[in-house]
Amino acid sequence: MSTAPSLVWFRHDLRLADQPALQAAMDRSGPVIPVYIWAPEEEEDWAPASCSRWWLHHSLDALSQRLELLGVRLIIRRGPTEVALSDLIRETGADAVFWTRRYEPEVIERDKQLKQLLKSQEIEACSFNGALLVEPWEVATQQGKPYQVFTPYWKAAQEKLSGDEPLAAPERLKTLNNSLESVSLQELNLLPTIPWDTAFHEQWMPGETGAQAALNRFLDEIVSDYKTERDVPGRQGTSRLSPHLHFGEISPRQIVQAMRARKLNLSAIGPKTFLTELGWREFAHHVLYHFPKTPQEPLRAAFNEFPWNDDPTSLRAWQRGQTGYPIVDAGMRELWATGWMHNRVRMIVGSFLTKHLRLPWQAGAEWFWDTLVDADLANNTLGWQWISGCGADAAPYFRVFNPILQGVKFDPDGTYVRRWCPELADVPDKWLHNPWEAPASVLTQARVRLGRDYPEPIVDHATARDAALAAFALIKK
């Protein structure tokens, strides 16, 4: 076995526990060198002011601190990746590079080329699954094709699930006794230059420790009622694990193992529903892997002919939470303030954009990509194609959510709307989700002037619904 150093190339796997790439390096007898390479130009676009950059900064900081407790430095280099790894191999004498697989189309192609290059130089290059329960290519229909419907996919995927225990975090690491050059985290300029992230620090704790805390809170307090509570945006009824999963601060295998360790009944409605949500994340990566053009193009080809509108003014109103529909505006304002939006509300605002405003789903996906701390290409693409009707498992594709009824059903006491649309705080529940229909005396008493304190609806629901159905009828023909 080689005693030369091994490079562990961290990407979206910013943890020490259940870290197969790290374990592979530890299984050799040489030093372990943890590396992070900042090369945004090689991947799907990292928007200059994206909320994901905020999370990445703090997650890398957390990883670096955990490594320092083991007496190891996280080496940060700028890309191009090929150059950075080659430099490190030369500087350290490393003869192996290990990393965790990712599934974005551009990253897959880059990784293939990189692996071939390293092997041609007699450098061991191995990648591992550390992000999914089931690899995208491990599940196929009886005809050998990828799934496009979730339910049969998840049934087949569950038969492939491994019962292996997650890998333990290392208690120590052997490293080189030298001072390799490293870019400081601050030099990456990941944090915003203006303080729009104030509320982020109150909402989130990036890093492996934060991920475990979020999981424990969810399993201790929420999971048993998850089936019903997850749809109520005014309550803490979801796991809020999505950014931790995206950045690999926790693995889905760790989550499943933690549920088993608590002896939860995984067939009970709450835990089963949550596992199904993990399955939806697996399905998103399955679809992205097999249909790599879906971040830009609809899976359902007929939607290439859909008559989308071109209306920058309406798009801006939607982005800023100024549509005049309280549940929609509350969601968009929550997103802007916290970098996250409740999943039920994501469906509502997505339906409003693509069906009430008939603006292209790509515009919504792009805005989410910039503003979500959990911006994930697979999940973001599948979610937007699903709600617009053009993607996998999107039937009935012509469904149009009524934002008034959605608000009444899922925010009946107005907790959510009143938090994010405080100008409506004194509007009675009866009129909170449709304030334009309230008597003038009610609005006067609530100190709300529509069109000044809160906007009038930018579209009429019934009219917009009819127009959307007419558009769907055109492509159906």
Catalytic residues, which ones?
277, 280, 308, 343, 361, 384
CA separation for the pair 131, 185 (Å, rounded): 24
Q: Taking every pair of C-alpha atoms in the chain, what is the biggest distance, in angstroms?
A: 82
How is residue 354 written in tokens? 């693509």
As a whole number of Å, the end-to-end CA separation of the chain is 65
In this structure, the strands spanning 75-78 and 32-38 are parallel
How does strand 124-128 pair with strand 32-38?
Answer: unpaired
Structure tokens at 140: 């196929």
3-state secondary structure 409-447: HHCCCCHHHHHHCHHHCCCCHHHHCCHHHCCHHHHHHCC
Extract long-range pairs of 433-441: CB within 8 Å, 24+ residues apart.
433/325, 433/326, 433/327, 433/403, 433/404, 433/407, 433/408, 434/404, 435/326, 436/324
Q: For the beta carbon of residue 232, count every other beta carbon within 10 angstroms.
A: 20
Distances (CA, A) of 443 to 18, 120, 324, 432, 449: 56, 73, 14, 10, 7
* Residue 299 · residue 397 · CB < 8 Å: no
Residue 157 near residue 287 (C-beta atoms within 8 A): no
Angle between helices 208-221 and 51-69 (to 10 degrees): 100
Residue 36: phi and psi, rounded to 5, are: -125, 135
Q: What are phi and psi for residue 447, nearest 5 degrees?
A: 60, 45
Are 277 and 271 within 8 A, CB to CB? Answer: no
